[in-house]
Structure formats: structure tokens, C-alpha cells
Amino acid sequence: MLAGEKLQQFKAFISNTSREEQVWMNGYLTAVITGQQAATAPQAAKKITIAYGTETGNSKKLATSFAARAKKEGIRTKLVGLDQYPAAALSTEEYFLTVISTHGEGEPPEAAKNFYDHIHKNGFKIPQVKFGVLALGDTAYPLFCKTGEDVDRQLQQLGASRIAPLQKCDTDYEEQAEKWFTEILQKINKESTAEVPAVNSVPVKKAATKQVYKGSILSNINLTGRGSTKKTYHIEIATEAPYLPGDSIAIVPANDLLLVQEIISLTGLAPNREITWRNETVTVEELLSQKAGIVYLLEKTVTQYAALAEAPIPAQRSDLAHLLRNYPLKNETQYETVLQQLTPIAPRIYNIASSPVAHEGAVHITVLQDLFTVNETVQHGLCTAYLEQKKPGDEISFFVQPNKRFRLPDADKDIIMIGPGTGIAPFRSFVAERDATGASGKNWLFFAETDFTTDFYYQAEWQTWFSTDVLTRVSLAFGNSSEEPFEIQHKILQQAASLFEWMENGAYVYLCGEKDPMSKNAEAALLSVIGQEGNMTDEAAKQYFETLKTTGRYMKDVY
């Protein structure tokens, strides 16, 4: 325990450090305590970001080959297109390398426009950033490499320091570019010679079950392209809630406020009237807005209402407002009784799509808009409707639902991930985590959806992982690309030989998504694969599959 001034200094110091630095200090102190301190002062793990702004694809190609090289050398590397890059993230970068071309008459490529404009704004500084700019251009144009020059100059004006001088390249850029990057790698390696505590070894605080966390929405985007038949939202929530890849979060959606107001006025009860509901005392407004389900009531609740109202109400699911409008009750006591009979809003569970290492300080989820029909009108699922309206800055409450039966294996093990539809979410978490921690195991993704052009969730990210060899194989099934039905099970069967080979080599198999019929079809296909490729009887194949389950090499999370 530190006392007095020491504690003050320590707290002041800690408050100025990033989470990553704290993780490092934790490892450093552990090493000091156990007497394993390295001879030289250890430094934090090097993290570089390589961002490309491309018009013809050359910048992307070059940046991708750089990233693959850096990863091979064990450097934590993030590869990102400038069109995908949140410019505000510059303030969190350590090494920031950019490969950028010049378009037309000295203009930045379309894809880099936002980034280019951002760094030309005043009012912020990024002194911690070490940067390098590789500019691609064509000497046939008068303003050769102008965009690269601009970016290089602006980053310096923002207080960042150059790790290497601006490198301008003509159309035959390969050799110069390689040389430039080799020099940068050498510098980075020189700056980080000491061993570092592995990120993995830091114990993650166990999430206390049901601890409610608050987070604020960072972004909420519909992942599907124009013309898609569905809406699937990618929601990022800023939070310090601890979690592991494979976990889910549970969200209790709030009811629609206008509907709540209408119900209150239909009952005539005072909004702040306190009533007892399931062993707690709450106000009418609180109950209706945050605690109790008011749409699509259970059949049982409707029957109870019918008894109270002494009315011939059909025993089927219905909305509270509909009942109140059509079958008014007699007095306040009856209205209060009705409210007391309401059941709690069920929390909705979503697989976490982010990695605590790669997406520090945030939880991402993938939410399919839920549409269903009641009494011939299309209704929105309560929770998806609630989430759909969330805007950046809005608050949201949730708790973490750990899933010990859906965990990544050791870093050197291969994994096969089968996740059609939003079942893809935990696998984005898996691969991002394995990318960020440099896990050496191979990764194979199976995904299925309706339309390749509009419904391939996180396509650009999978492509980046694929081009840097993090993602080893991808097998996709899109319904409308063939006349025959083509679903996940067909793709599994198509890949039988390789799948079985991976299983035989010890791969872990994961399945996530819809329970019925998807998971059943997928499991039946896996069984055929085993039987067919292993020359086994049905019984033997079942036994093989059973062993995968009991040894923890087959894990599923279906709903």
C-alpha cells in the first residue's frame, strides 16, 4: 500500500496513462516482483497502423504487402483503408504509416477525402504519433505526389514526428517502396528490442454476472448495401465492461415513450404513482417505460385481462394499448392490477462481435432487424426497434453474459467457424482477437446469406484479414447466386475433403446462428463429411462427432 504523497503521485501518474500502458506496467511490476526483470528497460509492444488511400488499387496492394511483412516480424499491425479510417483515431496511434496516391490534378483519392480534410483542420495535436508517408504518383503529371506531400506536411504540423522522410514514388514504385519500408521496420525494431509481457498473460477481471454496465453508442450503421432485403445493424458501444471473445451481452430494451404516454392516459393513473410490482416499488411511468413488457403480451396475461374486464377477448397475444382502448376497465384498482400482472421485458442476447484487444474500450454487436407479422400488420421486434433508433452519444444499459463453452483454443490451434447470417458476429471477435494477438493457428470462415453484393457482413474486414493471411480460408454460400437452393450445409458438403483434413489435424469447430433449421442442417452436413471422408459408418461418424463435442473441439452457440 502506498501512503500519502506517493499515492498521490502514483494516482496522478496512472490517470495520465492509456489502458495499454497500464497493461504493460502490470506486467512490468509482476516481473519486478518475481525477480524476472529484463536487463534493459522494457518498452510497450509496438503497434503500427498502415493506412492506404487508393484510387487504382496500387496503394492498397503496397500497404497490404507491408502489413503482411510487419505481421511476420511479430509487430502488431493494423491495415486499414483511409475510407474506413476514423480520422479521430489518429490521437491513439503510435506508429502511423500511410501509402497514398495523387489523383487528377493534385487531388487526394476519393477514398481518402475525409481523412485529408480532417488533418487540414486546426485545433488538435498528435505529438505521440510517429509517422511515415509513402506517396505514389506519376511524373507525367505536373503536381507529382502532391497529396503525399500535403499529408506529410500536415502530420508534422499537427505535432507528429517523422520516422522516415517522405518517399515519393513514380509508376515503377516497387523497389523504392520496399527499401523505404525495410528502413522503417529496422527503426521500429530498434526502438523495441526488449521483451514485453504478452498481452495474453494479463488476467482479465471476471465479469460479475448480471452486473449492469452503461455504455454510450459510438456508431450505429446498417451493414447491408442498397437493394438488400434486410437490415443488419453494426452497433459499437463505448464501455469498460470486461469480456472475452465468445461472450454475449444482454440488453433490456426500453419501451416506446409515446406508447407509454398513451397507456398512462388510458389508465388515468398518475405517472408518479407508486405501485408494487414483483417485490419492488416503482412508479407507473418507470414500470411502463423500463420494466414491463407492454407489446405482444403473453396469452396468459391477455386471459387475466379478459377475466378482469369481464369481456370476451380472444385468447391470443396482443398489445396492452389495444386492450385498454377496446376493453376499458372500471376503476383505478383494476388498472393497477393489470399493471401488476405485466411480465418483465425479456433481455435480448447478442453475441459480441468485437475483441477486447483489437477494439479496446468498446463492445460491438451485430443486430438483424426483426420483423414479424401480428394481425396482418408488420411489427418491429422490440429490441431491434429500440436499438435501431440509437444514435452516437445515446446511453445504453446491458450486462455481459459470459460463455465458457464458446472460447478460442490455444493460439496455435486451427479453427473452423461456421456462422451464417448474424452468426458471423462472434467470429469477427475471434479473428480480430487472433489478429491482434498474433495467434499462429489457421482460421477458416463459413458464411451464408442472401446476396453477395449486399449482405456479406464485414466484407472489407474479412478481405483485409484474408490478404494478410490471418484468415486462411473463406467459404461462402449466397442464396441468389444460383438457381438451386444454396445454403451453409451445401457449402460444408462441397468442402468435405479439406474440412475433414482440418478436423483430423486437430482443428476446433464452431457453429453460431439460427438454431432451426440452420444448426441442424449444418450438423447433419458435418456428420456426412465425417462419414464420407473418414470412410465411416453412420454410427462411427456419430461417435467421432461426439468425441469432438466432449473434448471441447466442437462448440456451438445457437438461438
> Closer CB to other proteins, residue 46 or residue 234?
234
Report the 10 Å Cβ neighbour count for 22: 12
> Closer CB to other proteins, residue 108 or residue 197?
108
DSSP 271-331: TT-EEEETTEEEEHHHIIIIIB--SSB-HHHHHHHHHHHT----SS-B-HHHHHHHS--SS
Least distance between other proteins and beta carbon 224 (Å): 7
Q: What share of the chain is helix, strand, coil (3-state, %, to 5)?
A: 40, 20, 40
> Closer CB to other proteins, residue 141 or residue 296?
141
Least distance between other proteins and beta carbon 223 (Å): 5
> Closer CB to other proteins, residue 277 or residue 465?
465
Report the 10 Å Cβ neighbour count for 357: 19
> Closer CB to other proteins, residue 51 or residue 302?
51
> Closer CB to other proteins, residue 291 or residue 364?
364
Least distance between other proteins and beta carbon 11 (Å): 40
Beta-sheet strands, E only, within 121-210: 130-136, 161-162, 167-169
DSSP state of 424: G
Least distance between other proteins and beta carbon 105 (Å): 6
Report whether 540 contacts 510 (CB < 8 A). Answer: no
| CA quadruple 434, 437, 439, 442: dihedral sign | positive
φ, ψ at 251 (rounded to 5°): -120, 130
| CA quadruple 401, 405, 406, 411: dihedral sign | positive
Angle at alpha carbon of residue 47, lines to 166 and 55, rounded to 5° = 50
Least distance between other proteins and beta carbon 556 (Å): 24
Strand bridging mode 280-283 / 274-277: antiparallel
> Closer CB to other proteins, residue 175 or residue 376?
175
> Closer CB to other proteins, residue 225 or residue 517?
225
Least distance between other proteins and beta carbon 87 (Å): 13
**CA distance linking residue 52 with residue 111, whole number of Å:** 9
Cell numbers linked to 326 = 377496446
Least distance between other proteins and beta carbon 179 (Å): 17
Report the 10 Å Cβ neighbour count for 407: 16
Least distance between other proteins and beta carbon 33 (Å): 43
> Closer CB to other proteins, residue 219 or residue 379?
219
Residues 6+ positions from 533 with CB-CB distance below 8 Å: 496, 497, 499, 500, 501
Least distance between other proteins and beta carbon 107 (Å): 8
Q: Which residues form the interface with other proteins (CB under 8 A)?
A: 56-57, 61, 81, 83-84, 104-105, 110-111, 140-143, 171-172, 221-226, 234, 452-454, 456-463, 466, 474-476, 481
